[in-house]
Amino acid sequence: MKGFHLFRKKMLRAMGLLCAGVFMQAFEVSAAIPPAPDVNFGVTPDPEYDDGVPPDIEADPLPAGARASPVFGNKASLLSRRRNKEQEEADKEVIPSPKKHLQWLINAGVTPQLTYTAESAANPVGGIRHGSAYSAQLMMGLDLDTDRLVGLKGGTIRFYVTNRHGQNLANTAIGNNTSVQEIWGTQNTHLAEFTWNQKLFNNRLELVAGRMSGNAGAFFSSSIYCNFQSNSACGNPTMIFKDSNFTYWPASAWGGYFKAWITPKIYFEGGAFEVNPYRKRANDDGFTFSIKHATGAMAPFELAYTTNFSNDKLPRTYRIGGWYDGGDYTDPVLDANRKYAVMTGDPYATLNGRGGIFFRFDQMIWRPNMNSERGLTVFGVAMKNVAGRVAEDHFLEIGFVQTGTFKGRDKDVLGFMINDQRMSKWTIDNILVARTSAGGSRHVPRDEIMMELTYGAQISRAFRVSPNLQYIINPDQIAEPFRTKNIKNTFIVGLKFTLDVLSHFNIARNPN
């Protein structure tokens, strides 16, 4: 026993000396390691995430002056134990943020997209009946930077899928043909875009090809328009979809376009897009790449003068252009025997070839502070059919957007727009024949006038809410030709909100 107690005493002394040595070694290493810098998660990319290794598996380098521990091995193991002791409680309580990983992914060349947009509408006055409807879209996708991924400069691959759900107040209560919820349409999970975008000659030429909606080249759209909820304005003047085979987002078809910058402020663009009636069917999901049922192609073109805040005190854009639709379409009134199809019950006759011209502009007219983007912008659209038997003769729109409304609300927007959709004589004839056969009035208004007052409140970086008031004078009866009376003027209360997940993290989407 005496020998055992002596052995235990010596062992305890040896262990004490060993622990003291380890403590001194750890103190020496920790003194040589500089304090960890604060990681910047702002919009400026951190080169730390550009080395091709995900941040959660990246090995720490051995700093100058630090030595490997003879007891615990290398410095990484030593620091791991040290951090575990110092932050053990904090690590149990803090949930790791995905921000660091997302920024690393974007800097590597892969930018995820995830947004949710919802629009509610109710008509307490007018329409066929009073009602309400909710419609929404979940959009998911990826932007792939070919420069960062494979070294091909100027290239971007875009892949977007949408899921749309909900109801359309125009269908369920108002009875007209133009929705007051622009997010409605193609109500399924759908391939919205799968394209290659390539910029050449120092960005003076842009080429885009793949699966996309026919208006993807921004021939008929503007970032201003979707401050509004009405589909008569957002995302394109609605006439283009009634007088041509252009697909609307997210209905995709084969197509391509180019944009050539003639000067830093002037460009010309043109394109060609597949005409395929199957692309607008309710059961089409966009993933069928066949052109089996294509009937032709559409060719839009435009010449534009555009400026921005970097080269103009009052930014502006003026566009003039047109389109030719070489695909098949249905006559708005007659069947193949030249009789009124609405009465015979036979299919409307198939025609081919139609076209139109347009002029669009937006112009900032007031900017109180040259160091801010606050200001008042006016915009307008004029479209006219020039060939073919179509549903609408012309479309006119005027409006304004005030960016920056009150003190501290620089991102809020107050907007108003009013537009006139003039029905063609063939559309009016179709309604008149049906209505008079049912004993109704022969007075059919030719102009549908839609207007909207909206306020877009930027609640946070990621969340925007836009309450709006809409009014329709003479709702069209294209979808209700046998009604004996005109649809009553309609007042709509709407609410639109958008959540952009990436904006929530304040991440640089296009790092240098």
- What is the percent of the chain with per-residue pLDDT over 70, rounded to a whole number? 79
CA distance 355 to 326: 9
Q: Where are the domains of the chain?
A: 2-37+46-93, 99-504
Residue 195 has pLDDT above 60, yes or no: yes
**Residue 445 structure tokens:** 């208004």
Q: Calculate ∠ Cα 251-252-256, nearest 5°.
A: 145
3-state secondary structure of 437: helix
Residue 47 has pLDDT above 60, yes or no: no
**CB contact at 8 A, 452 and 417:** yes
How far is the CA of 44 from the CAs of 48, 168, 329, 409, 455, in angstroms?
12, 42, 51, 24, 31
CA distance 50 to 58: 12
- The DSSP bridge pattern shows strands 348-366 and 375-387 to be antiparallel
Average pLDDT over every residue of 369-376? 93
First to last CA, the chain: 75
CATH fourth-level superfamily of 99-504: Carbohydrate-selective porin OprB (2.40.160.180)
| pTM greater than the 0.75 cutoff | yes
Q: Specify the amino acid at residue 407.
A: K
pLDDT in tens, 151-169: 999 999 999 999 999 999 9
pLDDT averaged over every residue in the chain? 84
Q: What is the pLDDT of residue 118?
A: 97
Q: Exposed e or buried b for every residue in 317-333, given b needs 16+ CB within 10 A?
A: bebebbbbbbbebbbbb
pLDDT in tens, 304-345: 999 999 999 999 999 999 999 999 999 999 999 999 999 999
**CB contact at 8 A, 353 and 328:** no
Q: Rounded to the nearest 5°, which phi and psi values hold at 354?
A: -160, 165
The conformation of residue 228, written as its DSSP 8-state character, comes to S
**CB contact at 8 A, 321 and 303:** yes
